[in-house]
């Protein structure tokens, strides 16, 4: 092919020399058109978030991201310039109310009207599934997805312009299964999960972690629908099963608090409660404690991949101190509750995107941004010690580790070692 190209070029030169002036009116080739959303001064990105509706408690994630971008725009980076290589980050966000149809409409607005360079941080499994086809068709990067669904990594060949970030639900579930096998080898397990892709991802992971013992250790499985207003029937059956280990694979807010409250009312007192990380936030656990009592929750197990900004252990940690300083100076007007872990998640996610943006080069394109996202190998300072962000040609899961954390009297503390949620 190279020889053919050179031959054609030579022929072109010969024709030009042999016919002087014959093509004098032909215009010079135009420079390649730049991708939308980027110029020498700024780069515009966007995303949709539930600022209203049933899961608006997740809204601080977007506010944390906005705050970090304001900080980046104000400070001087490693190249001595503000922003990223002198470009200010403009972050456009819209409220989709966690409604996938609304997500599609607003994402189209971000692409066609706001002309964003990339979609960054949009929240929710179903909303992101709804926009994934159109973003890949138009070759618009879809990064830092705020959901741990396994789709983003498992289907990366089919949807190469999409990539998640956080430890996925299957990997997290596998950590619970491994922990139970090692620490409660004779456990009788009841699993209560949300009957959708979210809950089933977790369920697959737990059973993978239990391995060949899953069929004998799991004595009861029951699911709930997001529209259910009572879980009494399912949880009564779980209590009757004789389970001594209760695994809740629920969503944050009402489902988790309702499940725990129902268990308490039915006098279901398993020796060990395990709650998935999405649901086991400090805010949810505090609400549950007010309903069922602190004693019922103490000893609960979950997992983490980020440092716990509310744990006294990290009071003087450089990343936590940086988070507090950034939120204090560049955060939303009126201040925020920096104990809210969703702000911390937002800052950690925004740090990751900025790191990818630097790796994409001084004059990034959408293609170079995705290429950089697929070649990560660094430490995000907001993640747990020992964790490393890695991706590769056959690995589209940036984070795949986690550490078990135990809840006592209002806070989670790390216990034991890091687990690999995707061994091999």
pLDDT value at position 55? Answer: 82
Q: Tokens in use for 163?
A: 């990539």
Whether 97 contacts 106, CB under 8 Å? no
Across the strands, what pairs with 49?
Answer: 95
Place of tokens 């709650």: 275
The residues, ordered by sequence, that sit 6+ positions from 201 with a Cβ below 8 Å of its Cβ are: 148, 149, 150, 168, 169, 170, 173
Q: Tokens in use for 32?
A: 């390649």
Q: Tokens in use for 377?
A: 């190998």
Neighbours of 286 (CB within 10 A): 13
Whether 45 contacts 116, CB under 8 Å? yes
Question: Of the candidates 99, 97, 91, 100, which has an alpha carbon nearest to the alpha carbon of residue 121?
Answer: 91
Phi, psi of 372 (to 5 degrees): -65, -40
The residues, ordered by sequence, that sit 6+ positions from 424 with a Cβ below 8 Å of its Cβ are: none
The CA distance from 193 to 206, in Å, is 11
Question: Of the candidates 102, 144, 137, which has an alpha carbon nearest to the alpha carbon of residue 122?
Answer: 144
The CA distance from 58 to 293, in Å, is 25
pLDDT, tens digit, 9 for 90 and up, residues 329-375: 999 987 888 888 899 999 999 999 999 999 999 999 999 999 999 99
- DSSP 8-state symbol, 423: -
pLDDT value at position 33? Answer: 63
The CA distance from 229 to 255, in Å, is 9
Q: What would the DSSP string read from start to end of 227-261?
A: T-S--HHHHHHHHHTT-SEEEEE--TTHHHHHHHH
pLDDT value at position 424? Answer: 59
Please report the domains of the chain, with CATH numbers, ordered by start residue.
Answer: 42-167+313-393 (3.40.50.2300), 169-304+406-420 (3.40.50.2300)
Q: Tokens in use for 92?
A: 């456009």
Question: Of the candidates 185, 165, 181, which has an alpha carbon nearest to the alpha carbon of residue 173?
Answer: 181
pLDDT value at position 407? Answer: 96
Cα–Cα separations (whole angstroms), residue 306 to 292, 381, 404? 27, 9, 12
Strands (E), 211-300: 218-224, 245-249, 272-275
Across the strands, what pairs with 118?
Answer: 45
Say what the pTM is.
Answer: 0.87
Q: Which residues of the chain have pLDDT under 70?
A: 1-33, 424
Whether 302 contacts 276, CB under 8 Å? yes
pLDDT value at position 24? Answer: 37
pLDDT, tens digit, 9 for 90 and up, residues 10-37: 333 333 333 333 333 444 444 456 899 9
């Amino acid at each position: 092919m190279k020889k053919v190209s050179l031959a054609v070029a030579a022929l072109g030169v010969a024709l030009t020399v042999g016919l002087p002036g014959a093509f004098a009116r032909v215009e010079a080739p135009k420079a390649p058109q730049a991708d939308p959303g980027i110029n020498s001064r700024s780069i515009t990105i966007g995303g949709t978030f539930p600022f209203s509706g049933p899961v608006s408690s997740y809204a601080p994630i977007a506010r944390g991201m906005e705050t970090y971008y304001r900080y980046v725009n104000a400070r001087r980076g490693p190249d001595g310039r503000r922003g990223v290589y002198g470009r200010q980050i403009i972050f456009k966000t819209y409220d989709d109310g966690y409604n996938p149809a609304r997500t599609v409409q607003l994402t189209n607005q971000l692409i066609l009207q706001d002309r964003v360079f990339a979609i960054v941080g949009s929240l929710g499994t179903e909303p992101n599934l709804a926009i994934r086809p159109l973003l890949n068709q138009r070759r618009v990067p879809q990064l830092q997805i705020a959901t741990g669904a396994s789709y983003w990594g498992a289907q990366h060949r089919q949807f190469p312009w999409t990539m998640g970030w956080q430890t996925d639900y299957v990997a997290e579930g596998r950590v619970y299964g491994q922990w139970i096998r090692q620490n409660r080898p004779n456990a009788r397990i009841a699993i209560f999960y949300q009957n959708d892709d979210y809950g089933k991802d977790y369920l697959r992971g737990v059973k993978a972690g239990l391995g060949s013992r899953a069929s004998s250790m799991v004595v009861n499985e029951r699911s709930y629908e997001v529209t259910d207003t009572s879980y009494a029937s399912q949880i009564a059956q779980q209590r009757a099963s004789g389970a001594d280990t209760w695994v809740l694979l629920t969503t944050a807010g009402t489902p988790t608090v309702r499940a725990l409250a129902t268990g308490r009312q039915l006098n279901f007192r398993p020796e060990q409660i395990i709650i998935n990380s999405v649901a086991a936030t400090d805010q949810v656990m505090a609400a549950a404690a007010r309903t069922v009592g602190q004693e019922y929750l103490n000893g609960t197990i979950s997992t983490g991949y980020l440092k716990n900004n509310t744990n006294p252990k990290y009071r003087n940690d450089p990343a936590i101190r940086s988070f507090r300083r950034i939120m204090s100076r560049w955060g939303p007007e009126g201040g925020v509750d920096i104990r809210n872990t969703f702000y911390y998640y937002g800052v950690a996610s925004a740090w990751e995107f900025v790191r990818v943006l630097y790796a994409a080069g001084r004059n990034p394109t959408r293609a170079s941004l995705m290429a950089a996202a697929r070649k990560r190998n660094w430490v995000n300072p907001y993640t747990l010690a020992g964790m490393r962000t890695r991706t590769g040609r056959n690995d589209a899961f940036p984070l795949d580790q986690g550490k078990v954390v135990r809840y006592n009297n209002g806070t989670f503390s790390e216990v034991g070692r890091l687990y690999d949620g995707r061994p091999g």
